[in-house]
Amino acid sequence: MSLHDKLKSIESYPFHMPGHKRNNKFGITASEIDITEIDGFDNLHSPNGVIKEIEDKLAKIYKARRSFISVNGSSIGILASVFAICNEGDTVIVARNCHKSVYNACMLLKLKVVFVEPLYDLTNGYYTKLEQSTVNHAISRHPDAKAVIITSPTYEGFISNIECDIPLIVDGAHAAHLGISYFPKYPKGDIVISSLHKTLPALTQTGVVNVYNPKYTDRVKLYMDIFQTTSPSYVLMNSIDICTDFVINNRNEFGIFYEKLCDLRLVDTENLIIEYNDDISKIVLSCASTDISGVQLADILRSKYKIEPEAVSQNYVLLMMTIGDDDFAFDLLKKAITEIDESLTYSPAVPVRKPPTFDGEGVISISDYSELTDIERCVGKRSNEFIYAYPPDIPILSPNEIISQSTIDYIKCALKNGVNIISDSGELPNKILTKQTE
């Protein structure tokens, strides 16, 4: 009997946690299956029953040597993977467009970070592919590097097929649906981490850590147990159980979904552009060559069509489509794209400002001694906080980086154009938390 089936047939009275006692008088959604590690329901930190069966199904789907459930999203999986491979003070090669959780892992382990730059689309303003030659060059210059960490696919759906002789960690948070039906292959690496909830039918916070190099299986398990909650949600794990069964038993639906995505891209437009990418479930709708901005396009989608985009940037909006979208969703989006396109006029695209390049290498670190500095007086100082665009949480500035004028200009430009820029201190647009000078 699966976890899902067992949760539907609970008969015992709960003289145990959680405190709502599955009593419907509180009106808490899904409380009827929200239990703790009671008899017969296995234990995420030592699975040998129904939870182990779910992990085995995940390993089957992703062809992994071992798969570990995460109920703390991809972020925990990334932390556990970096800790599994690296020791304090090691050198690592990191793609500049990695998620904040990668930076956090590097900071906690005091790793020496060598950044590599993926290609960048200056028309729309996002990173695309990381080239193999770029990684090869970094490895040749840093033969002591203990790992390469990349993001593939990117938030906007670009895949980097990187191979290397040192351990490769792939943040495939947006890759959970890849390898199914006509979609591109699932990423290759020693460890690949994916968020099930992002692109498959599972609840938010659900993820999987897929280990392909058995050398790291035990250490990944060790650090997953350290970083992950000791009170894992059975509501979340139940959704993973349902999700895995759906994927295994309904691959034909993914084929139909893919064909619908192909059809969507045939929508005839003169001004708006559905940009090319590797994962066509990510709809990058560019307005770079029109008379409106991405912020204005998003406002039209919300107000006129009740469409909420995944993300909004200066020259585009990002819309995510999944197996959960029905014909109504496809028809609505086609209608919106067609009608909005007809209302726009052509305007030559103006290249966007590229995020600042971090040359060289360094350690990400936060000092106990900091000061808020006026943004106009920050150049040459070291940051003592993260500043990042959210979504997707890619740092523009990380702690201990020297702040350049180009960084300040980029932050100002992004804020001016409606990009959601967040700082740890919350003092933007006026101040940045910097390290105190001696």
- If asked whether residues 160 and 302 sit together in one domain, one would say no
Q: What is the pTM of this model?
A: 0.96
- pLDDT for 360 equals 61
**Confidence band, pLDDT 50/70/90 cuts, at residue 77:** very high
Q: Is pLDDT at 292 greater than 60 in this prediction?
A: yes
- If asked whether residues 259 and 226 sit together in one domain, one would say no
Q: Is pLDDT at 206 greater than 70 in this prediction?
A: yes
CB atoms within 10 A of CB 345: 10
* Alpha helix segments (H runs only) across 30-166: 50-62, 73-85, 100-108, 132-141
DSSP state of 261: H
- pLDDT for 391 equals 86
Q: What is the crossing angle of helices 234-249 and 251-264, to 10°?
A: 80
Asked whether the CA dihedral 163, 166, 171, 172 is positive or negative, the reply is positive
- If asked whether residues 377 and 300 sit together in one domain, one would say no
- If asked whether residues 141 and 256 sit together in one domain, one would say no
- pLDDT for 359 equals 62
pLDDT digits (tens, 9 = 90+) for 224-233: 999 999 999 9
To which residue do tokens 């467009």 refer?
A: 97
Contacts of residue 108, Cβ cutoff 8 Å, sequence gap at least 6: 79, 83
CA torsion, ordered 109, 111, 115, 121, to nearest 10 deg: 0
CATH of the domain at 212: 3.40.640.10
Overall number of domains in the chain = 3
Report strand pairing: 282-286 vs 273-274: antiparallel
- If asked whether residues 69 and 218 sit together in one domain, one would say yes
Report strand pairing: 91-95 vs 147-151: parallel
Q: Kindly state the tokens that stand for 136.
A: 């090869």
Q: What is the CA radius of gyration of the chain?
A: 23
- If asked whether residues 169 and 84 sit together in one domain, one would say yes
Q: Does 358 reside within a domain?
A: no
* pLDDT, averaged across the chain: 96
Residue 310: φ, ψ to 5°: -70, -45
